[in-house]
Structure 1
Amino acid sequence: MSSTPAPDYTYLRELVFQYSQNVLEPSHDHLFQSRLVGVLHRQGMSRLDELVHLLRRAKSPELERAVAEAMTINETSFFRDSRSFDLLRTEVLPKVVEARRASRKLRLLSAASSTGQEAYSLAILLREHFPHLTGWNIRVEAADICSEVVERARQGRYHRIEMNRGLPARLLVRYFDRAGEDWIVKPEIAELCTFSQANLCAALPYKEHFDVVFMRNVMLYLSLETRRALLTAVHRLIASDGYLFLGAAEQPPDRSLWTTVLSGGTCHYRPR
Protein backbone atom coordinates (compact mmCIF):
# COMPACT_ATOMS: atom_id res chain seq x y z
CA MET A 1 0.00 0.00 0.00
CA SER A 2 1.62 3.29 -1.15
CA SER A 3 1.54 6.37 1.01
CA THR A 4 0.63 9.88 -0.16
CA PRO A 5 3.76 11.82 -1.21
CA ALA A 6 4.71 14.66 1.11
CA PRO A 7 4.36 18.15 -0.42
CA ASP A 8 7.54 20.06 -1.16
CA TYR A 9 7.00 22.82 1.40
CA THR A 10 10.39 24.37 0.66
CA TYR A 11 9.30 24.94 -2.93
CA LEU A 12 6.02 26.55 -1.76
CA ARG A 13 7.77 28.80 0.75
CA GLU A 14 10.23 29.99 -1.90
CA LEU A 15 7.39 30.64 -4.35
CA VAL A 16 5.55 32.79 -1.80
CA PHE A 17 8.73 34.74 -1.06
CA GLN A 18 9.36 35.31 -4.77
CA TYR A 19 5.97 36.97 -5.24
CA SER A 20 5.28 38.71 -1.93
CA GLN A 21 8.62 38.78 -0.05
CA ASN A 22 6.79 37.17 2.88
CA VAL A 23 9.13 34.88 4.83
CA LEU A 24 7.23 31.77 5.94
CA GLU A 25 8.94 29.62 8.54
CA PRO A 26 8.79 25.79 8.34
CA SER A 27 6.78 25.83 11.57
CA HIS A 28 3.94 27.39 9.55
CA ASP A 29 3.90 24.72 6.83
CA HIS A 30 0.57 23.43 8.15
CA LEU A 31 -1.09 26.67 6.96
CA PHE A 32 -0.61 25.73 3.31
CA GLN A 33 -3.27 23.03 3.48
CA SER A 34 -5.99 25.28 4.90
CA ARG A 35 -5.21 28.43 2.92
CA LEU A 36 -4.79 26.73 -0.43
CA VAL A 37 -8.11 24.88 -0.31
CA GLY A 38 -9.65 27.30 -2.80
CA VAL A 39 -6.70 27.03 -5.19
CA LEU A 40 -6.81 23.22 -5.00
CA HIS A 41 -10.56 23.21 -5.61
CA ARG A 42 -10.26 25.41 -8.70
CA GLN A 43 -7.62 23.05 -10.09
CA GLY A 44 -9.77 19.97 -9.40
CA MET A 45 -7.27 18.72 -6.80
CA SER A 46 -7.35 17.69 -3.17
CA ARG A 47 -3.65 17.23 -2.33
CA LEU A 48 -0.80 19.74 -2.06
CA ASP A 49 1.71 17.43 -3.72
CA GLU A 50 -0.50 17.45 -6.84
CA LEU A 51 -0.48 21.25 -6.83
CA VAL A 52 3.31 21.41 -6.45
CA HIS A 53 3.68 18.99 -9.37
CA LEU A 54 1.43 21.21 -11.51
CA LEU A 55 3.30 24.36 -10.51
CA ARG A 56 6.63 22.82 -11.48
CA ARG A 57 5.27 21.54 -14.79
CA ALA A 58 3.05 24.41 -15.93
CA LYS A 59 5.19 27.41 -14.91
CA SER A 60 2.02 29.49 -14.78
CA PRO A 61 2.48 33.03 -13.37
CA GLU A 62 -1.28 33.22 -12.73
CA LEU A 63 -1.30 30.04 -10.65
CA GLU A 64 1.88 31.00 -8.81
CA ARG A 65 0.39 34.40 -7.99
CA ALA A 66 -2.82 32.73 -6.73
CA VAL A 67 -0.79 30.60 -4.32
CA ALA A 68 1.18 33.59 -3.04
CA GLU A 69 -1.97 35.68 -2.58
CA ALA A 70 -3.72 32.90 -0.70
CA MET A 71 -0.84 32.75 1.78
CA THR A 72 -0.88 36.45 2.67
CA ILE A 73 -2.02 37.41 6.17
CA ASN A 74 -5.40 39.17 5.99
CA GLU A 75 -6.15 39.75 9.67
CA THR A 76 -7.98 43.05 10.10
CA SER A 77 -10.90 44.73 11.85
CA PHE A 78 -12.52 48.13 12.17
CA PHE A 79 -10.50 50.62 14.22
CA ARG A 80 -7.92 47.94 15.03
CA ASP A 81 -5.57 49.17 17.79
CA SER A 82 -7.73 52.07 18.87
CA ARG A 83 -4.75 54.01 20.28
CA SER A 84 -3.51 54.78 16.77
CA PHE A 85 -6.92 56.09 15.74
CA ASP A 86 -7.25 58.09 18.96
CA LEU A 87 -3.88 59.73 18.31
CA LEU A 88 -4.84 60.39 14.72
CA ARG A 89 -8.06 62.07 15.83
CA THR A 90 -6.74 64.16 18.72
CA GLU A 91 -3.25 65.18 17.61
CA VAL A 92 -2.19 64.17 14.12
CA LEU A 93 -5.11 65.16 11.92
CA PRO A 94 -5.66 68.56 13.57
CA LYS A 95 -2.03 69.42 12.76
CA VAL A 96 -2.30 68.07 9.21
CA VAL A 97 -5.56 69.91 8.58
CA GLU A 98 -4.05 73.19 9.75
CA ALA A 99 -1.00 72.66 7.53
CA ARG A 100 -3.21 71.89 4.49
CA ARG A 101 -5.69 74.72 5.02
CA ALA A 102 -4.51 76.54 1.90
CA SER A 103 -4.61 73.54 -0.45
CA ARG A 104 -7.72 71.95 1.16
CA LYS A 105 -6.35 68.55 0.16
CA LEU A 106 -5.68 65.41 2.24
CA ARG A 107 -4.17 62.11 1.20
CA LEU A 108 -4.07 59.02 3.46
CA LEU A 109 -2.72 55.56 2.64
CA SER A 110 -3.79 52.20 4.06
CA ALA A 111 -1.01 49.82 3.00
CA ALA A 112 -1.75 46.08 2.97
CA SER A 113 -5.39 47.03 3.40
CA SER A 114 -6.81 43.50 3.31
CA THR A 115 -10.63 43.54 3.11
CA GLY A 116 -10.82 47.29 3.65
CA GLN A 117 -11.81 47.79 7.28
CA GLU A 118 -8.81 50.01 8.04
CA ALA A 119 -9.41 52.29 5.05
CA TYR A 120 -13.10 52.63 5.86
CA SER A 121 -12.21 53.31 9.50
CA LEU A 122 -10.03 56.22 8.38
CA ALA A 123 -12.83 57.57 6.19
CA ILE A 124 -15.38 57.23 9.01
CA LEU A 125 -13.05 59.04 11.42
CA LEU A 126 -12.74 61.93 8.98
CA ARG A 127 -16.48 62.21 8.42
CA GLU A 128 -17.34 61.77 12.11
CA HIS A 129 -14.83 64.08 13.74
CA PHE A 130 -13.91 66.54 10.98
CA PRO A 131 -17.23 67.48 9.36
CA HIS A 132 -15.86 70.93 8.54
CA LEU A 133 -13.68 69.28 5.87
CA THR A 134 -16.71 68.77 3.63
CA GLY A 135 -15.69 70.24 0.30
CA TRP A 136 -12.02 69.37 0.74
CA ASN A 137 -10.27 67.10 -1.74
CA ILE A 138 -9.88 64.00 0.44
CA ARG A 139 -8.74 60.57 -0.66
CA VAL A 140 -8.00 57.40 1.32
CA GLU A 141 -5.90 55.18 -0.94
CA ALA A 142 -5.72 51.48 -0.05
CA ALA A 143 -3.59 48.73 -1.54
CA ASP A 144 -3.19 44.99 -1.08
CA ILE A 145 -1.37 42.27 -2.98
CA CYS A 146 -4.38 39.92 -2.99
CA SER A 147 -6.96 40.54 -5.73
CA GLU A 148 -9.68 38.68 -3.85
CA VAL A 149 -9.54 40.85 -0.73
CA VAL A 150 -9.25 44.02 -2.83
CA GLU A 151 -12.51 43.11 -4.57
CA ARG A 152 -14.18 42.47 -1.22
CA ALA A 153 -12.98 45.85 0.00
CA ARG A 154 -14.42 47.58 -3.06
CA GLN A 155 -17.79 46.00 -2.38
CA GLY A 156 -17.73 47.34 1.18
CA ARG A 157 -19.99 44.52 2.35
CA TYR A 158 -19.36 42.79 5.68
CA HIS A 159 -21.05 40.10 7.73
CA ARG A 160 -22.46 41.12 11.11
CA ILE A 161 -19.68 39.15 12.86
CA GLU A 162 -17.06 41.29 11.11
CA MET A 163 -18.99 44.42 12.05
CA ASN A 164 -18.93 43.48 15.73
CA ARG A 165 -15.12 43.61 15.74
CA GLY A 166 -14.17 47.14 16.74
CA LEU A 167 -17.03 49.17 15.28
CA PRO A 168 -19.23 51.01 17.82
CA ALA A 169 -22.96 50.54 17.30
CA ARG A 170 -23.56 54.25 16.73
CA LEU A 171 -21.07 54.27 13.84
CA LEU A 172 -22.52 51.07 12.45
CA VAL A 173 -26.03 52.49 12.02
CA ARG A 174 -24.74 55.88 10.86
CA TYR A 175 -22.37 54.78 8.15
CA PHE A 176 -23.66 51.37 7.00
CA ASP A 177 -26.90 50.04 5.52
CA ARG A 178 -28.21 46.65 6.59
CA ALA A 179 -28.71 43.89 4.01
CA GLY A 180 -29.89 40.75 5.80
CA GLU A 181 -26.94 39.37 7.78
CA ASP A 182 -24.58 41.82 6.06
CA TRP A 183 -23.90 45.53 6.28
CA ILE A 184 -22.88 47.71 3.30
CA VAL A 185 -20.84 50.89 3.66
CA LYS A 186 -22.75 54.02 2.71
CA PRO A 187 -21.78 56.00 -0.41
CA GLU A 188 -20.55 59.00 1.62
CA ILE A 189 -17.80 56.75 3.07
CA ALA A 190 -17.18 54.59 -0.02
CA GLU A 191 -16.59 57.65 -2.19
CA LEU A 192 -13.57 58.64 -0.07
CA CYS A 193 -11.77 55.31 -0.59
CA THR A 194 -9.94 53.86 -3.58
CA PHE A 195 -8.75 50.24 -3.51
CA SER A 196 -5.95 48.93 -5.74
CA GLN A 197 -4.09 45.67 -6.11
CA ALA A 198 -0.40 46.33 -5.55
CA ASN A 199 2.68 44.58 -4.25
CA LEU A 200 4.18 46.89 -1.65
CA CYS A 201 7.57 45.30 -2.17
CA ALA A 202 7.55 46.21 -5.85
CA ALA A 203 7.05 49.66 -7.37
CA LEU A 204 4.32 51.49 -5.45
CA PRO A 205 1.67 52.85 -7.85
CA TYR A 206 1.44 56.39 -6.45
CA LYS A 207 2.67 59.69 -7.84
CA GLU A 208 1.67 62.11 -5.05
CA HIS A 209 2.72 62.46 -1.44
CA PHE A 210 0.69 61.17 1.49
CA ASP A 211 -0.02 63.11 4.66
CA VAL A 212 -0.65 59.97 6.74
CA VAL A 213 0.47 56.40 6.02
CA PHE A 214 -0.89 53.41 7.91
CA MET A 215 1.36 50.40 7.27
CA ARG A 216 0.72 48.36 10.38
CA ASN A 217 1.71 44.71 10.89
CA VAL A 218 3.03 44.53 7.34
CA MET A 219 6.73 44.01 8.01
CA LEU A 220 6.43 41.19 10.54
CA TYR A 221 6.93 38.54 7.87
CA LEU A 222 9.46 40.38 5.70
CA SER A 223 13.22 39.99 5.68
CA LEU A 224 15.38 42.82 7.02
CA GLU A 225 16.52 43.73 3.52
CA THR A 226 12.93 43.88 2.27
CA ARG A 227 11.81 45.97 5.24
CA ARG A 228 14.62 48.43 4.62
CA ALA A 229 13.71 48.77 0.92
CA LEU A 230 10.01 49.13 1.69
CA LEU A 231 10.50 51.88 4.28
CA THR A 232 12.84 53.71 1.91
CA ALA A 233 10.12 53.66 -0.75
CA VAL A 234 7.53 54.88 1.77
CA HIS A 235 9.90 57.68 2.81
CA ARG A 236 9.83 58.94 -0.77
CA LEU A 237 6.02 58.82 -0.82
CA ILE A 238 5.27 60.54 2.47
CA ALA A 239 5.05 64.31 2.77
CA SER A 240 7.99 65.98 4.51
CA ASP A 241 5.65 66.85 7.39
CA GLY A 242 3.70 63.57 7.17
CA TYR A 243 3.07 60.81 9.68
CA LEU A 244 3.77 57.05 9.52
CA PHE A 245 1.99 54.50 11.69
CA LEU A 246 3.48 50.99 12.05
CA GLY A 247 2.37 48.01 14.10
CA ALA A 248 3.14 47.89 17.81
CA ALA A 249 5.87 45.29 17.26
CA GLU A 250 7.45 47.06 14.28
CA GLN A 251 10.18 49.68 13.95
CA PRO A 252 11.92 51.24 10.96
CA PRO A 253 15.16 49.33 10.25
CA ASP A 254 16.89 52.52 9.09
CA ARG A 255 16.61 55.10 11.86
CA SER A 256 18.43 57.69 9.79
CA LEU A 257 15.23 58.20 7.77
CA TRP A 258 12.70 58.41 10.61
CA THR A 259 12.17 60.18 13.92
CA THR A 260 10.22 58.25 16.56
CA VAL A 261 7.49 60.20 18.36
CA LEU A 262 5.93 58.77 21.53
CA SER A 263 2.42 60.03 22.30
CA GLY A 264 -0.96 58.78 23.44
CA GLY A 265 0.34 55.43 24.66
CA THR A 266 1.69 54.56 21.24
CA CYS A 267 4.22 55.86 18.73
CA HIS A 268 4.39 57.10 15.19
CA TYR A 269 7.20 58.18 12.91
CA ARG A 270 8.10 61.41 11.11
CA PRO A 271 10.34 61.48 8.04
CA ARG A 272 13.74 63.10 8.55
Structure 2
Amino acid sequence: MVNEHDFAYIRKLVYDNSAIVLETGKEYLVDSRINPLAKAKGFASLSEFVKKLQQTPYGPLHYDVIEAMTTNETSFFRDAHPFEAMKTTVLPEMAEKLALKKRLNIWSAACSSGQEPYSLAMLANEFFNSQPSWKVSITASDISEEMLSYTKKGHYTQLEINRGLPVTMMVKYFENHGSVWKAKDNIRNMLDFRKLNLSAPWPMMPKMDIIFLRNVLIYFDQETKRGILNKVRNQLHPDGYLFLGSAETTFNLDDSFERKLIGRAVCYQLRK
Protein backbone atom coordinates (compact mmCIF):
# COMPACT_ATOMS: atom_id res chain seq x y z
CA MET A 1 0.00 0.00 0.00
CA VAL A 2 1.28 3.48 -0.91
CA ASN A 3 2.54 5.36 2.14
CA GLU A 4 1.19 8.74 3.25
CA HIS A 5 4.20 10.71 1.99
CA ASP A 6 4.16 9.18 -1.50
CA PHE A 7 0.40 9.55 -1.80
CA ALA A 8 0.63 13.25 -0.88
CA TYR A 9 3.26 13.82 -3.57
CA ILE A 10 1.30 12.02 -6.31
CA ARG A 11 -1.93 13.74 -5.27
CA LYS A 12 -0.28 17.17 -5.60
CA LEU A 13 1.37 16.23 -8.92
CA VAL A 14 -1.96 15.13 -10.39
CA TYR A 15 -3.86 18.15 -9.04
CA ASP A 16 -1.28 20.69 -10.24
CA ASN A 17 -1.33 19.27 -13.77
CA SER A 18 -4.97 18.24 -14.25
CA ALA A 19 -6.98 19.77 -11.34
CA ILE A 20 -8.22 16.26 -10.55
CA VAL A 21 -8.61 15.70 -6.81
CA LEU A 22 -7.40 12.42 -5.31
CA GLU A 23 -9.18 12.36 -1.98
CA THR A 24 -8.05 10.41 1.05
CA GLY A 25 -9.29 6.87 0.50
CA LYS A 26 -8.04 6.79 -3.10
CA GLU A 27 -4.72 5.25 -2.09
CA TYR A 28 -5.86 1.99 -3.67
CA LEU A 29 -6.16 3.79 -7.02
CA VAL A 30 -2.58 5.01 -6.82
CA ASP A 31 -1.48 1.51 -5.88
CA SER A 32 -3.30 -0.13 -8.78
CA ARG A 33 -2.16 2.38 -11.41
CA ILE A 34 1.26 3.64 -10.34
CA ASN A 35 2.76 0.41 -8.98
CA PRO A 36 2.62 -1.29 -12.42
CA LEU A 37 4.04 1.88 -14.00
CA ALA A 38 6.92 1.95 -11.49
CA LYS A 39 7.74 -1.70 -12.22
CA ALA A 40 7.53 -1.14 -15.97
CA LYS A 41 10.05 1.71 -15.61
CA GLY A 42 12.46 -0.55 -13.72
CA PHE A 43 11.94 0.65 -10.15
CA ALA A 44 11.93 -1.84 -7.28
CA SER A 45 9.12 -0.07 -5.42
CA LEU A 46 6.62 2.75 -5.66
CA SER A 47 8.58 4.72 -3.05
CA GLU A 48 11.73 4.45 -5.13
CA PHE A 49 9.78 5.69 -8.14
CA VAL A 50 8.35 8.66 -6.21
CA LYS A 51 11.83 9.54 -4.94
CA LYS A 52 13.06 9.68 -8.54
CA LEU A 53 10.12 11.87 -9.53
CA GLN A 54 10.92 14.29 -6.72
CA GLN A 55 14.56 14.52 -7.72
CA THR A 56 13.89 15.05 -11.42
CA PRO A 57 12.56 18.18 -13.21
CA TYR A 58 9.09 17.70 -14.69
CA GLY A 59 9.40 15.44 -17.70
CA PRO A 60 8.26 12.16 -19.30
CA LEU A 61 8.11 10.21 -16.02
CA HIS A 62 5.83 12.79 -14.43
CA TYR A 63 3.69 12.90 -17.56
CA ASP A 64 3.31 9.10 -17.42
CA VAL A 65 1.95 9.41 -13.88
CA ILE A 66 -0.60 12.00 -15.03
CA GLU A 67 -1.61 9.73 -17.92
CA ALA A 68 -2.03 6.75 -15.60
CA MET A 69 -4.12 8.65 -13.06
CA THR A 70 -6.42 10.48 -15.50
CA THR A 71 -7.50 7.51 -17.61
CA ASN A 72 -11.04 6.38 -16.80
CA GLU A 73 -13.07 3.38 -17.85
CA THR A 74 -15.91 3.74 -20.32
CA SER A 75 -18.12 1.70 -22.65
CA PHE A 76 -20.35 2.04 -25.70
CA PHE A 77 -23.71 3.75 -25.01
CA ARG A 78 -22.80 3.95 -21.32
CA ASP A 79 -25.80 4.72 -19.09
CA ALA A 80 -28.23 4.33 -21.99
CA HIS A 81 -30.72 7.06 -21.00
CA PRO A 82 -28.84 10.09 -22.47
CA PHE A 83 -28.53 8.30 -25.80
CA GLU A 84 -32.23 7.43 -25.76
CA ALA A 85 -32.99 11.11 -25.09
CA MET A 86 -30.77 12.06 -28.02
CA LYS A 87 -32.62 9.65 -30.30
CA THR A 88 -36.17 10.49 -29.29
CA THR A 89 -35.99 14.22 -28.54
CA VAL A 90 -32.71 16.09 -28.93
CA LEU A 91 -31.74 15.10 -32.47
CA PRO A 92 -35.28 15.59 -33.89
CA GLU A 93 -35.44 19.00 -32.21
CA MET A 94 -32.03 20.00 -33.54
CA ALA A 95 -32.93 18.79 -37.03
CA GLU A 96 -35.89 21.16 -36.98
CA LYS A 97 -34.10 24.17 -35.46
CA LEU A 98 -31.03 23.84 -37.65
CA ALA A 99 -32.89 22.88 -40.84
CA LEU A 100 -31.46 25.81 -42.82
CA LYS A 101 -27.88 25.49 -41.58
CA LYS A 102 -27.84 21.68 -41.74
CA ARG A 103 -24.84 21.50 -39.44
CA LEU A 104 -24.65 19.99 -35.97
CA ASN A 105 -21.71 20.35 -33.58
CA ILE A 106 -21.35 17.83 -30.74
CA TRP A 107 -18.60 17.68 -28.14
CA SER A 108 -17.62 14.55 -26.22
CA ALA A 109 -15.40 16.02 -23.48
CA ALA A 110 -13.03 13.74 -21.54
CA CYS A 111 -13.76 11.00 -24.06
CA SER A 112 -11.24 8.51 -22.63
CA SER A 113 -10.80 5.56 -25.05
CA GLY A 114 -13.45 6.88 -27.43
CA GLN A 115 -16.52 4.72 -26.96
CA GLU A 116 -18.69 7.76 -26.22
CA PRO A 117 -17.86 9.81 -29.35
CA TYR A 118 -18.19 6.70 -31.53
CA SER A 119 -21.57 5.99 -29.90
CA LEU A 120 -22.65 9.55 -30.71
CA ALA A 121 -21.39 9.17 -34.27
CA MET A 122 -23.40 5.98 -34.78
CA LEU A 123 -26.49 7.59 -33.28
CA ALA A 124 -26.17 10.68 -35.49
CA ASN A 125 -25.50 8.58 -38.57
CA GLU A 126 -28.61 6.52 -37.92
CA PHE A 127 -30.72 9.65 -37.57
CA PHE A 128 -29.32 11.67 -40.49
CA ASN A 129 -28.63 8.74 -42.81
CA SER A 130 -31.52 9.68 -45.09
CA GLN A 131 -30.41 13.34 -45.10
CA PRO A 132 -26.92 13.35 -46.66
CA SER A 133 -26.82 17.14 -46.91
CA TRP A 134 -26.35 17.34 -43.13
CA LYS A 135 -22.87 17.80 -41.67
CA VAL A 136 -22.37 16.37 -38.18
CA SER A 137 -19.06 17.13 -36.48
CA ILE A 138 -18.13 15.47 -33.19
CA THR A 139 -15.22 16.86 -31.21
CA ALA A 140 -13.58 14.13 -29.12
CA SER A 141 -11.27 15.59 -26.48
CA ASP A 142 -9.21 14.25 -23.61
CA ILE A 143 -6.27 15.31 -21.48
CA SER A 144 -4.47 12.06 -22.27
CA GLU A 145 -2.50 11.78 -25.50
CA GLU A 146 -2.50 8.00 -25.08
CA MET A 147 -6.30 7.90 -24.96
CA LEU A 148 -6.63 10.26 -27.93
CA SER A 149 -4.28 8.05 -29.94
CA TYR A 150 -6.40 5.04 -28.99
CA THR A 151 -9.57 6.84 -30.05
CA LYS A 152 -8.08 7.94 -33.38
CA LYS A 153 -7.24 4.35 -34.26
CA GLY A 154 -10.80 3.22 -33.51
CA HIS A 155 -9.62 -0.32 -32.75
CA TYR A 156 -11.51 -2.21 -30.04
CA THR A 157 -11.14 -5.68 -28.58
CA GLN A 158 -14.03 -8.13 -28.56
CA LEU A 159 -14.43 -7.50 -24.83
CA GLU A 160 -14.74 -3.74 -25.38
CA ILE A 161 -17.17 -4.30 -28.26
CA ASN A 162 -19.30 -6.58 -26.09
CA ARG A 163 -19.71 -3.84 -23.50
CA GLY A 164 -22.76 -1.95 -24.69
CA LEU A 165 -22.57 -2.19 -28.49
CA PRO A 166 -25.61 -3.88 -30.10
CA VAL A 167 -24.72 -6.60 -32.60
CA THR A 168 -26.54 -4.79 -35.41
CA MET A 169 -24.40 -1.68 -34.91
CA MET A 170 -21.22 -3.74 -34.52
CA VAL A 171 -21.77 -5.32 -37.93
CA LYS A 172 -22.84 -2.05 -39.54
CA TYR A 173 -20.13 0.25 -38.20
CA PHE A 174 -17.12 -1.96 -37.42
CA GLU A 175 -14.94 -4.36 -39.42
CA ASN A 176 -13.35 -7.42 -37.89
CA HIS A 177 -9.56 -7.61 -38.18
CA GLY A 178 -8.51 -10.74 -36.32
CA SER A 179 -8.56 -9.94 -32.61
CA VAL A 180 -9.86 -6.38 -32.99
CA TRP A 181 -12.83 -4.53 -34.45
CA LYS A 182 -12.04 -1.39 -36.45
CA ALA A 183 -14.43 1.55 -36.73
CA LYS A 184 -15.44 2.18 -40.33
CA ASP A 185 -14.56 5.46 -42.02
CA ASN A 186 -18.16 6.67 -42.14
CA ILE A 187 -18.10 7.22 -38.36
CA ARG A 188 -14.36 7.86 -37.90
CA ASN A 189 -14.54 10.76 -40.35
CA MET A 190 -17.19 12.44 -38.20
CA LEU A 191 -14.71 12.82 -35.32
CA ASP A 192 -12.30 15.70 -34.71
CA PHE A 193 -9.67 14.89 -32.08
CA ARG A 194 -8.26 17.45 -29.64
CA LYS A 195 -6.03 17.26 -26.59
CA LEU A 196 -7.76 19.41 -24.00
CA ASN A 197 -7.33 19.98 -20.27
CA LEU A 198 -10.75 21.02 -18.99
CA SER A 199 -9.26 23.01 -16.10
CA ALA A 200 -6.88 25.01 -18.35
CA PRO A 201 -7.79 27.65 -20.98
CA TRP A 202 -9.66 26.08 -23.89
CA PRO A 203 -8.63 26.43 -27.53
CA MET A 204 -10.91 28.07 -30.05
CA MET A 205 -13.80 25.77 -30.92
CA PRO A 206 -17.13 26.25 -32.67
CA LYS A 207 -20.23 26.81 -30.57
CA MET A 208 -21.58 23.41 -29.56
CA ASP A 209 -25.17 22.31 -29.98
CA ILE A 210 -24.72 19.32 -27.68
CA ILE A 211 -22.06 18.76 -25.02
CA PHE A 212 -21.45 15.43 -23.28
CA LEU A 213 -19.41 16.18 -20.15
CA ARG A 214 -20.15 13.00 -18.28
CA ASN A 215 -18.49 11.38 -15.29
CA VAL A 216 -15.63 13.86 -15.10
CA LEU A 217 -16.79 16.78 -12.91
CA ILE A 218 -16.88 14.39 -9.95
CA TYR A 219 -13.06 14.37 -9.96
CA PHE A 220 -12.72 18.14 -9.47
CA ASP A 221 -13.10 20.43 -6.46
CA GLN A 222 -15.96 22.95 -6.29
CA GLU A 223 -13.94 25.90 -7.59
CA THR A 224 -12.72 23.94 -10.61
CA LYS A 225 -16.24 22.67 -11.35
CA ARG A 226 -17.54 26.25 -11.36
CA GLY A 227 -14.75 27.33 -13.69
CA ILE A 228 -15.46 24.51 -16.12
CA LEU A 229 -19.22 25.14 -16.13
CA ASN A 230 -18.56 28.85 -16.74
CA LYS A 231 -16.59 27.92 -19.86
CA VAL A 232 -19.26 25.42 -20.90
CA ARG A 233 -21.84 28.20 -20.66
CA ASN A 234 -19.87 30.25 -23.19
CA GLN A 235 -19.23 27.25 -25.45
CA LEU A 236 -22.82 25.99 -25.59
CA HIS A 237 -25.27 27.32 -28.16
CA PRO A 238 -28.20 29.15 -26.46
CA ASP A 239 -30.58 26.35 -27.52
CA GLY A 240 -28.05 23.59 -26.86
CA TYR A 241 -28.05 20.66 -24.47
CA LEU A 242 -25.56 19.68 -21.79
CA PHE A 243 -25.40 16.10 -20.51
CA LEU A 244 -23.58 15.34 -17.25
CA GLY A 245 -23.00 12.05 -15.46
CA SER A 246 -25.75 10.58 -13.29
CA ALA A 247 -23.89 11.64 -10.10
CA GLU A 248 -23.22 15.19 -11.36
CA THR A 249 -25.24 18.41 -11.37
CA THR A 250 -24.97 22.15 -11.97
CA PHE A 251 -26.99 22.79 -8.77
CA ASN A 252 -25.18 25.13 -6.36
CA LEU A 253 -22.44 25.55 -8.95
CA ASP A 254 -23.91 27.59 -11.81
CA ASP A 255 -27.48 28.88 -11.84
CA SER A 256 -27.27 29.73 -15.55
CA PHE A 257 -28.37 26.17 -16.29
CA GLU A 258 -31.88 24.79 -16.06
CA ARG A 259 -32.38 21.10 -15.31
CA LYS A 260 -34.62 19.19 -17.73
CA LEU A 261 -35.88 15.64 -17.78
CA ILE A 262 -36.23 13.75 -21.06
CA GLY A 263 -37.62 10.32 -20.35
CA ARG A 264 -35.21 9.00 -17.70
CA ALA A 265 -32.32 11.22 -18.79
CA VAL A 266 -31.36 14.43 -16.97
CA CYS A 267 -29.89 17.20 -19.10
CA TYR A 268 -29.34 20.95 -18.85
CA GLN A 269 -30.07 24.00 -20.97
CA LEU A 270 -29.19 27.64 -20.53
CA ARG A 271 -31.91 29.69 -18.89
CA LYS A 272 -33.63 32.08 -21.27
TM-score of the alignment, normalized to the shorter chain, above 0.5: yes
Per mean C-alpha deviation after superposition, the further-off stretch among 242-251 and 61-70 is 61-70
Residue number in structure 1 paired with 2:175? 177
2-structure distance, mates of 1:5, 1:109: 39
CA RMSD between the two structures: 1.7
* AA of the residue aligned to 1:16: V
1-structure distance, mates of 2:151, 2:204: 19
1-structure distance, mates of 2:263, 2:138: 23
Unmatched runs of 5 consecutive residues or more in structure 1: none
* AA of the residue aligned to 1:178: N
SS at match of 1:71: helix
State the 1:37 CA deviation. Answer: 4.4
2-structure distance, mates of 1:38, 1:107: 39
**Are the aligned partners of 2:76 and 2:164 in contact in 1 as well (CA < 8 Å)?**
yes
2-structure distance, mates of 1:187, 1:91: 27
State the 1:267 CA deviation. Answer: 1.1
Residue number in structure 2 paired with 1:21? 19
2-structure distance, mates of 1:269, 1:6: 40
CA spacing shift, 1:59–1:93, aligned 2, 3 Å:
same
Per mean C-alpha deviation after superposition, the further-off stretch among 45-54 and 160-169 is 45-54
**Are the aligned partners of 1:80 and 1:166 in contact in 2 as well (CA < 8 Å)?**
yes
Residues matched between the structures, number:
269
The alignment status of 1:193 with 2:191, answered yes or no, reads: yes
2-structure distance, mates of 1:33, 1:106: 42
| TM-score relative to the length of structure 2 | 0.94
State the 1:108 CA deviation. Answer: 0.2
Residue number in structure 1 paired with 2:119? 121
SS at match of 1:80: coil
Match of 1:137 among 131, 135, 138: 135
Residue number in structure 2 paired with 1:81? 79
Structure 1 segments, 4+ long, off by >4 Å, are 4-7
2-structure distance, mates of 1:12, 1:232: 28
2-structure distance, mates of 1:240, 1:62: 41
Residue number in structure 2 paired with 1:259? 258
1-structure distance, mates of 2:20, 2:153: 27
Match of 2:154 among 148, 156, 179: 156
2-structure distance, mates of 1:215, 1:170: 27
**Are the aligned partners of 2:105 and 2:210 in contact in 1 as well (CA < 8 Å)?**
yes
2-structure distance, mates of 1:27, 1:226: 21
Of all paired residues, the percent bearing the same amino acid is 38
* AA of the residue aligned to 1:109: W
State the 1:72 CA deviation. Answer: 1.4
* AA of the residue aligned to 1:267: V
SS at match of 2:43: coil
Residue number in structure 2 paired with 1:268? 267
**Are the aligned partners of 1:7 and 1:52 in contact in 2 as well (CA < 8 Å)?**
no
SS at match of 2:66: helix
Q: Deviations over 1:137-171 (max 9, x none)?
A: 22100111111111100000000000001110000
* AA of the residue aligned to 2:79: D
**Are the aligned partners of 1:6 and 1:49 in contact in 2 as well (CA < 8 Å)?**
no
* AA of the residue aligned to 2:6: D
2-structure distance, mates of 1:46, 1:26: 25
State the 1:73 CA deviation. Answer: 4.2
* AA of the residue aligned to 1:223: D
State the 1:212 CA deviation. Answer: 0.2
SS at match of 1:196: strand
**Are the aligned partners of 1:110 and 1:141 in contact in 2 as well (CA < 8 Å)?**
yes
